Amino acid sequence: MATASAKFARTAVIALHYQNDVLDPGGQIRVGFDAAQPERAAVLDAAAALLAQARAQGLPLIHIRIAFRPDYADLLRNAPIFVRTAEAGALREGTWGAQFYPGLEPDASRALDYVLHHRRTSGFIGTPLEQILAAHDVRHLIVAGVATHSTVEMTVRHAVDLGYTATVAADACSCADRRAHEASLDAMRLIAAIATVGEIFRERA
């Protein structure tokens, strides 16, 4: 098993919502892309490169998925995004839409690939994420996923408030509205480093 280099000591990668309903053109809730967004291939390639680099560098890689009971009894409808999720019939546990997008799924054979399940926007709410990070003495997080302006930004803000340093892998993030994506990245520059996957791993190689 690969071990993390000194440059990546105390670092983990968090991959958020790389799931069919979010990423696939046939998905029910395309907050990551609209149906014909031309950036799709580049974002998916960057996400795949991020996961590959995490594994090559021997880093903990935490895949965080969102899914609800088929009757949505566990969905708290206190925000428009959650109301729309139920109305669309999206992200129901046990369905194709809730499954990981092909090529961005966890490696079940790798001990450092973790899968967490949550029902909110922050990756810390309702999950043992902090415990896993503490077990690996992690203090720096590389965060990516969809959508940039929701689960990515919320998780980054939560992480920073908890005392972690954060880097956003910007090219492995997306949202259907490109202006919202860019605005979210700009807002996060106050609290996190913003870089491409290539920049992150060149700078720390």
Check residue 28 and give its pLDDT: 80
Q: How confident is the model at residue 163 (pLDDT cuts 50, 70, 90)?
A: very high
36 contacts: CB under 8 Å, gap ≥ 6 = 25
Q: How confident is the model at residue 98 (pLDDT cuts 50, 70, 90)?
A: very high
Distance of CA 175 to the CA centre of its chain: 12
Check residue 81 and give its pLDDT: 87
CA pair distance 111, 86, nearest whole angstrom:
34
Q: Which two tokens stand for residue 22?
A: 């979010």
Which strands make up the sheet holding 165-169, listed edge to edge? 113-118, 61-66, 11-16, 140-145, 165-169, 193-195
Strands 165-169 and 140-145: parallel
**Residue 65 pLDDT > 60:** yes
**How far, in Å, are 4, 65, 91, 188 from residue 99 at the CA level?**
29, 8, 8, 28
CA pair distance 123, 129, nearest whole angstrom:
7
**Residue 39 pLDDT > 90:** no
**Residue 125 pLDDT > 70:** yes
Could you tell me if 159 and 141 are in contact, meaning their C-beta atoms sit under 8 angstroms apart? yes
The phi, psi pair for 57, rounded to 5°, reads -90, 0
Run of H or E residues at 22? helix 20-23
**Residue 2 pLDDT > 70:** no
Q: How confident is the model at residue 110 (pLDDT cuts 50, 70, 90)?
A: very high
**Residue 153 pLDDT > 80:** yes
Q: How confident is the model at residue 175 (pLDDT cuts 50, 70, 90)?
A: confident
CATH of 6-203, one of 3.30.160.110, 3.40.50.2300, 2.40.50.840, 3.40.50.850: 3.40.50.850
Check residue 178 and give its pLDDT: 87
Across 36-56, average pLDDT: 90
Predicted TM-score (pTM) of this structure: 0.93
∠ CA 197-170-22, nearest 5°, is: 110
Strands 140-145 and 113-118: unpaired
